[in-house]
Structure 1
Amino acid sequence: MLQTLQRSKTPSGAAYIDRGGGGEILVLIHGVGMRIEAWGPQIEQLSMRHRIIAVDLPGHGFSAPLKGRPDLSNFVTWFGAVIDELELGAVNIAGHSMGALIATGMAATAPERLSRIALLNGIYKRTTEARQAVEARADEIVTGAFDRDAPLGRWFAPDEVNSDAYRLVRNLLQQVDASGYAAAYRAFATGDTFYCDCWPAVTSPALFLTGDGDANSTPEMAQDMAKATQNGRAAIIKGHRHMVNLTAPDEVTAALANWLTWTA
């Protein structure tokens, strides 16, 4: 059974949690089809030393739907407004998948608002074949007649189907609002080139983490982004795929805790 975390809401309708209180602020942004609970292990551990704020994407969890076109720039604008509403100032941002694209947009458009940035299973300059495949999935999803279990085969290895992580993610996919999912997936499918050339100008400490078995957010993508960034490092978690923060929670949480000590 899914245990729902108690949320607050910003004036514009973004749902969030605010945990901990000591140390620097870390804002967590989840991926398409997920919600705050997908960060459970990281919230539990990192809130012991840091103030953790996690948000539901528009049309996900308990957040109001996105206003305007479903493109990445509007999600980035939405996220910047959430930071403003919460009066957070400069923050550390960690985004997973779609959340990583939003974090990239913040690095490109408002670098002064970042202390550090971490991309988990981030996308960077898809191949033509990969872009066509993800855009085809976006076209299917917008019809409303999509297979909610289909992502599980990409996100998890066969030996993980009986794991708690698999059950949690499947549960979240079954519950996600269809229109909110479609809007976010469209932005995800078309957003990998929006801000991809920003990295040479980024000076904040930057972590690029993925699983070595993630065929869509590949180790090569993480390594290329790290090389392009002035203060970037790649971390590849062996034996894991797209939901690496849930399937390898201790390794990922340790990597984020270490990242939170980096200085420019």
Structure 2
Amino acid sequence: MSTIPQRSSTRHGAAYAEKGQGEPLLLIHGVGMRLEAWAPQIEALSSSRRVIAVDMPGHGESGRLPAGSLLPDFVAWLGRMLDDLSLDSVNIAGHSMGALIAGGAAATFGKRVRRVALLNGVYRRDQAARAAVLARAKAIRSGSIDVEGPLLRWFGEDGRDTEAYRLTCEWLTGVDPEGYATAYAAFAEGDGTYADAWPRVACPALFLTGEDDPNSTPAMAEAMAAAAPLGQARVVVGHRHMVNLTAPEAVNGMLAEWLAREEVRA
């Protein structure tokens, strides 16, 4: 894995690492992960951008949010971070839970968000998927952290013998239990929070997922893209949930195309 720059911390306790110069790109990882999950994107995209990867609250070296915090609290946390870094105009890309935060930022922060990208984002789960994720959130709150289940959903049986699997297992195993429980509960409840906002999000919006992702499905990406005035859906064929690690060249290319789109608002 590429070397991650040394972390810094904002006034409000958000840990981040940055590399490169130019137009800023903020990266937000998924629940149970840490900013190292963006290593391939930091390395590739920092050649032409100021890339800032952040540890989500209660993950990596970022401080926790209070127990019971919901998705809007994570979005407000992101707003404080942007203020602390004096980022008045920024591109934001998020993965999984980070995608929900990025979508909330696009819905809330107006022209401050130049472009938004959701990687493996969930959108209006059906009843069965919602029941399953709420059950997992309840188990995590009770202190039961399942590592094998997420890894199987994210990689499938064929992905076990890969470096991406090993790293993801390491991060998930080492996550702070309280921070994880708070974030996962917000993730479980959050797929509908900003779902109605996409018609009002006027910036270029990319919705990217893996063809075989069972939870953040291509149909979800296509539905969000259809709702957003400048939405675009992209699907990485033959991959699942951790596309930023398992298909970095394809994902980096799609992100570069998104970053090159003119910021002409609908």
* RMSD of aligned alpha carbons: 1.4
Partner of 1:116: 115
User: SS of the counterpart of 1:179?
Assistant: helix
How many residues align structurally?
Answer: 263
**How many angstroms apart in 2 are the aligned matches of 1:2 and 1:204?**
31
Partner of 1:200: 199
**How many angstroms apart in 1 are the aligned matches of 2:203 and 2:115?**
5
TM superposition shift of 1:68: 6.1
Q: Is the 8 A contact 1:38 1:246 kept in 2?
A: yes
Amino acid in structure 1 at the alignment position of 2:129 = A
User: SS of the counterpart of 1:123?
Assistant: coil
TM superposition shift of 1:113: 1.2
**How many angstroms apart in 2 are the aligned matches of 1:5 and 1:153?**
30
Partner of 2:31: 32
**How many angstroms apart in 1 are the aligned matches of 2:222 and 2:212?**
14
Once the two structures are superposed, the pairs formed by residues 184-199 of structure 1 within 5 Å of their partners are 184-199=183-198
User: SS of the counterpart of 1:188?
Assistant: helix
Partner of 2:6: 6
Once the two structures are superposed, the pairs formed by residues 86-235 of structure 1 within 5 Å of their partners are 86-235=85-234
Q: Is the 8 A contact 1:2 1:168 kept in 2?
A: no
TM superposition shift of 1:3: 6.7
TM superposition shift of 1:149: 2.5
User: SS of the counterpart of 1:198?
Assistant: helix
Q: Is the 8 A contact 1:124 1:196 kept in 2?
A: yes
Partner of 1:72: 71
**How many angstroms apart in 2 are the aligned matches of 1:257 and 1:99?**
19
**How many angstroms apart in 2 are the aligned matches of 1:96 and 1:250?**
16
User: SS of the counterpart of 2:196?
Assistant: coil
User: SS of the counterpart of 1:226?
Assistant: helix
Q: Is the 8 A contact 1:149 1:173 kept in 2?
A: no
**How many angstroms apart in 2 are the aligned matches of 1:123 and 1:106?**
15
State the Cα deviation string for residues 51-104 of structure 1 (Å, max 9, x = none).
000100111000011136321010000011000000011100000000000011
Larger mean Cα displacement after TM superposition, 144-153 or 221-230:
144-153
TM-score (norm 1): 0.97
State the Cα deviation string for residues 11-69 of structure 1 (Å, max 9, x = none).
11110012101x31100000000000000100001001100001001110000111363
TM superposition shift of 1:258: 0.7
Q: Is the 8 A contact 2:5 2:18 kept in 1?
A: no
**How many angstroms apart in 2 are the aligned matches of 1:67 and 1:179?**
9
**How many angstroms apart in 1 are the aligned matches of 2:215 and 2:139?**
18
Q: Is the 8 A contact 2:210 2:237 kept in 1?
A: yes
Q: Is the 8 A contact 1:36 1:56 kept in 2?
A: yes
Q: Is the 8 A contact 1:115 1:205 kept in 2?
A: yes
- CA 1:93 to 1:50, structure 2 compared with 1: closer, same or farther past 3 Å? same
User: SS of the counterpart of 2:57?
Assistant: coil
- CA 1:259 to 1:2, structure 2 compared with 1: closer, same or farther past 3 Å? closer
Amino acid in structure 2 at the alignment position of 1:125 = R
Q: In percent, how many aligned pairs have the same letter?
A: 56
